[in-house]
Every structure is written in C-alpha cells, then in structure tokens.
Structure 1
Amino acid sequence: MNILLPGNGFKYFFALFALLFSSGCVSAVTVNFARDLSYAVVNNNDLETVKTGAPAYLIMIDSFLYDDPKNESLLISAANLYTAYTDVYVEDKERASKMTDKAMSYALRAVCANRSDACLMRELDFESFTKIINKINDMDSIPSLYTLGAAWAAWIQAHQDDWNAVAEIARVEAIMAHIVKLQESYQDGGAHLYLGTLATLLPPALGGSPEKGRMHFERALEISGNKNLMAKVIYARQYARMIFDRDLHDRLLNDVLDANPEVEGYSLLNILAQKKAEILLKNADEFF
C-alpha cells in the first residue's frame, strides 16, 4: 500500500499509526521506520519525489521524538534527515536556519544521550570542547559523533552571515579529525570529504590549505571506491578551481557525468551530483 496516495490510503496509514502507539511497541518500530526511511531516501532516483514527500516524514519523526526524546538512534536519524533535506532542497535562508537549528539540536541530544559529560559541549571553550571529543573513543559513538559534525557543518552554512557561527568551523574539523583517527572508513570516508572541504574554504593567503584538502579528497575517493560522485564534484569545485587546474576540474566532472548514478546508498546524492557537474562544466570557461 502506498501511504502517499490520497483518500483511503491516509485513513489506513493513520489507523496503523494509532495502533503502533497504543500497542506499546513504538520505540522499536519507530527506530526501524526512521532507519528504513533514511535508506529509502538515499536510494531514491527521483529528486522531486523526495522533495515532495520528505517534509511529512520529518514532521512524523518529530512526533516520534516527543514520545521517546532520548532515543539515540531516533535522534541520529532525525538529525540526518533534517540535515540532508536542508542541504539538497532548502534555498530560503530563514527556512534553512530553522531546519539546521533543529538538526543541530537533535544531533547534540544524540551525543548527550549516553554521555552526560558531552551534554554542554557546545558552551565550552575550544580546548575543553576538544578534550570532550577526544575522550569519545568507543566505536558505538561514531554514528552520533559523525551526525553531529555533519549537522554542525550544515548549521554553519545556514548561518554563514554570522561570524560567530563561522568561527565554529574549527569544532567541526575537530570532530571529523577524531573520526578519521577512530575509523576513517566510516560512511565511506565521509570525514575525509568534510576535512577536504574545510581545508579549501579559504585561499592559502587567508589560511587555506589546498594540498591538505587534496589529500583528504583523494583519500575519500579511495575509501569510497568512487561510489560517491558528489565527492568528485566537491573536489573539482573546492580544490581544482582554487588552484586553477582546468584539466583536473574537467576530468573529475566528466567522470561524474559518465558514471552510473544508481549505486546503493548514493543514488539520490549521485543524481544531484550530476546536475551540479553539468552546471560547473557549463560555466568553466567563465571561471578559468
């Protein structure tokens, strides 16, 4: 049954919803639902379908968290979905600000769920903050820590007009660097991709480190086996354009366009990457 269909489909869906809550099995069911929803979203090959359908599920997951506010797995799923949806679809600054605020709140609560010393980490000075991060060494904590880093990066992007927000980039870098130490292969090297982007946000004269960024991008591609086409787009945009390497720029983007985007875990992101690659190639003459 397709729960997105109008009419009776909605009646059956809300009847099922009520049954789950009344049966006392909400925790396990909702966690599995949120996990499976995340999987369905990243493997969907239609950007517009996800754009249209996802907001209803975001609100639904909010409702699940009212019932189980300290469920770490559910908090991680909620933060990831809000972060991803904002990153892909939300262009309005005010709306992006609100949605990343929520993603950040969920991510902080996820880290705090089983680590009381981390609950106030955002209010600590940077040295105290890094001490808390570096004390998180169990592998079970990597998902919540990575989710926090990703949500924090999206939050900074949405609040980039605020220099106090931009100053928190170092905290994202500390989180992702720690994940690389713990398990660099997590999320197919996603922490390397974040570190590469952070290293190439500024030109060398202003403190950027393009060669450090290049090493992170290359490592991310190596770990992912080139499955993540967005990594190549970011590599081209952040590094190749920064050092004015047209050959590398065009090669990376043409690789993206030539690839089959439908890869398990990356289909939605890869289709978006191909759209962005087309745009970058079209305006390459103006840039170079």
Structure 2
Amino acid sequence: MPAAAPTLLASLCLLLLTGCASIDRMAVNKLGDALAGGGTAFAGDNDPILIRDASPFSLKLMESLLARNPRHTGLRLAAASGFTQYTYAFVQQEADATEETDVVAAATLRRRAVRLYQRARDHGLAGLEILHPGLRDSLRRDPRTAVRSCGAGDVPFLYWTAAAWAAAIVNGKDQPDLIADLPAVEALIDRALELDEAYDHGAIHAFLIAYEPSRPGAEGDPLARARVHFERALALTGGRHAGPLLTWAETVCVQQQDRARFEALLQQALAIDADARPEWRLANLVLQERARRLLARTDDLFLPVETTPATP
C-alpha cells in the first residue's frame, strides 16, 4: 500500500462519517491532494490489466471529490491526465485491435474513446479557467491571444488539455465538426512548447511528431519539422521511452511507405527494458504491445514491392 494510504483512508473515513461542512471541505481537500499526487503508483506498475481494472474507480473518485470542490486544480489536472492516459492505453488500443476483426464493435469503442477524451479535455479546460478566468470562452474566439496569459506553471494543463482534445478529434473521424477545434488545440500545444519544451521528458515533442505532418497552413517541409521533434524527444528520453519511436513509425514511416525503417523502429521499441525507468514502465509495456500488433499488420500498412521478372 502506498505511503500516502493511511492519510488518504483517514480522510475518506472522516468525509463519510461527518456532516460538518468545514471538516467535509478539509477531508475533500486532503483526499484530493493525495489522489492528485498519486499517479506514480500506477505509472510504475508492471501489470497493465490490473491498472485497466483499477483506473475507473480512481477516476470516478476524483470526479466525486470534484463535485464537492470543483476548484481543486490538482484534481482537475489529475483527472485530465488520468482520463487521457486511461482512454489511450485501454479504450483506444482495444478499438484499434478490434477493428481488424469487427468494424462495428470498434466503432462503438471509438465513440466511447471520444467521449472520454472530451471528458479529459473538459477537466483540463476547467482547470485553466480556474487559473485564468475567461480563458475557456476566449480560447474558441481567439486561441493564440487566449493562451498568452498562461505561464510556465500552466504547462501541464496546456499539454494534457491539448493531448485529450487532439485525441478526441483523431478518434472522431465520423464527427467532422470536431475538426473546427484544431486551432485551439494548436494554440495550447504551441504555447506549452514555448514555455517549457522539455516538459515531461519531451512529451510535447512526441505530440508534435504526429501533428506536424498535417499541421494546416504551416510553412516549410512538414517532415523536417517532425524530424526536429523526433530527435529532441529521443534526446530527452534517452531512447528509453517507446512513445517517440512508435509515433514516428506510425506517422512518418507509413506515410512515406518506408517499411524497413518502420520495422526497425518497432523492434527498437520492443528492445527497451521497461524496468530501466520505473516511472515509464506501464507506458512502455502498453506501447510495446501496440508495437507487436503493428508489426503483425505490416503487410496491410505497406504496399507490396514490385519486382521485375527475370529475363528468360
């Protein structure tokens, strides 16, 4: 049991047993603080199925506490990041795997993923609104101006809100109206990059590997822009996080039909020792499973190489 568990359990008991408003608020805040700072226990786990089954309770507990104290920014951030990571690791991955055999079931899962990503986005926007009143509305009117009020301390909110929002758009291909939100996503992630490009060991750069090849209206070579982010993400992770490798393989290698590089990057991802960086253990295990599935689909993702018949 984590070291914070006794305090967390005591707070929960206090919350359940008392009707006093001041004690109730104190218990909510104490429990909220414990939950908001408890992500490392999940991130370092070596059993993705266990985390898949445990996460919904944790996420709903956060939302229950937010219903009592909606201005707890730590819980807002934990909910934004938690729902985003849960949805990517367990709902979107299941949708991708199911799509190979059951398109209808996969579409149902993907619609669920969109709803969960939007929930994560809304928690992120709520947190930004607490810190910068009026930002949520101005973000839709004039995104670039809206995010100028954000500082370095807001980067986690900027990143997770953008990540969740972008994922909702990508998975909501049957909802074309979602694409209208891209300027807001772009403003959030670009401001995060400007304020702290090394945030979370290159998470922003990993995001931009996938985004740059399709960034609307950008100048220059999109592949060159993506490569800059890829190389920076590799440098910041020391090559020990599978994320940048899979993103380049799926985004650039498939687009360029570079099968050899695709296979090499996925094999490199599979060779990562998930225990080398405990804080990335769960992420690497989930991504390595995705790498295996992608390798199994290589023939579907790449056109066959034409061979010239031998001259008789």
Alpha-carbon distance in 2 for matches of 1:278, 1:221: 20
The answer as to whether partners of 2:11 and 2:28 remain within 8 angstroms in 1 is: no
* 3-state DSSP of counterpart to 1:266: helix
Counterpart among 165, 168, 187 of residue 152 in structure 1: 165
Alignment match, 2:301 = 287
Alpha-carbon distance in 1 for matches of 2:212, 2:295: 23
Does residue 261 (structure 1) correspond to residue 274 (structure 2)? The answer is: yes
Alignment match, 1:107 = 124
Count of matched residue pairs? 271
Alpha-carbon distance in 2 for matches of 1:159, 1:275: 23
Question: Residues 14-59 of structure 1, C-alpha deviation per residue, up to 9 Å, x if partnerless?
Answer: 88623146442321332222321x2222111111101111111111
Identity over aligned pairs, percent: 25
Does residue 17 (structure 1) correspond to residue 34 (structure 2)? The answer is: no
Matches within 5 A, 1:73-84: 73-84=74-85
Alignment match, 1:218 = 231
Does residue 129 (structure 1) correspond to residue 143 (structure 2)? The answer is: yes
Offset, 1:78: 0.7
The answer as to whether partners of 1:111 and 1:148 remain within 8 angstroms in 2 is: no
**RMSD, aligned α-carbons:** 2.5
Alpha-carbon distance in 1 for matches of 2:87, 2:249: 22
Counterparts in 2 of 1:31 and 1:155: CA distance versus 1, 3 Å: farther
Does residue 118 (structure 1) correspond to residue 124 (structure 2)? The answer is: no
Matches within 5 A, 1:1-288: 17-20=12-15, 22=18, 23=23, 24-36=26-38, 38-90=39-91, 91=95, 92-124=109-141, 128-136=142-150, 138-201=151-214, 209-262=222-275, 263-288=277-302
The answer as to whether partners of 2:140 and 2:184 remain within 8 angstroms in 1 is: no
Alpha-carbon distance in 2 for matches of 1:183, 1:166: 26
Alpha-carbon distance in 1 for matches of 2:149, 2:215: 30
Alpha-carbon distance in 2 for matches of 1:99, 1:232: 26
Alpha-carbon distance in 2 for matches of 1:112, 1:203: 27
**Which segment is superposed worse, 21-30 or 67-76?**
21-30
Offset, 1:61: 0.7
Question: Residues 99-155 of structure 1, C-alpha deviation per residue, up to 9 Å, x if partnerless?
Answer: 22221211100111121131313431xxx211111332x221112111211121122
* 3-state DSSP of counterpart to 2:274: coil
Counterparts in 2 of 1:121 and 1:161: CA distance versus 1, 3 Å: farther
The answer as to whether partners of 1:83 and 1:100 remain within 8 angstroms in 2 is: yes
Counterpart residue type for residue 76 of structure 1: L
Alpha-carbon distance in 1 for matches of 2:194, 2:115: 32
Unpaired segments of 5 or more residues in structure 2?
Answer: 3-7, 96-108, 303-312
Counterpart residue type for residue 18 of structure 1: C
Counterpart residue type for residue 28 of structure 1: K
Alpha-carbon distance in 2 for matches of 1:14, 1:162: 42
The answer as to whether partners of 2:76 and 2:126 remain within 8 angstroms in 1 is: yes
Counterpart residue type for residue 55 of structure 1: P
Unpaired segments of 5 or more residues in structure 1?
Answer: 3-12
The answer as to whether partners of 2:143 and 2:183 remain within 8 angstroms in 1 is: no
Question: Residues 44-89 of structure 1, C-alpha deviation per residue, up to 9 Å, x if partnerless?
Answer: 1111101111111111111110111011111000111111111111
Alpha-carbon distance in 1 for matches of 2:298, 2:146: 43
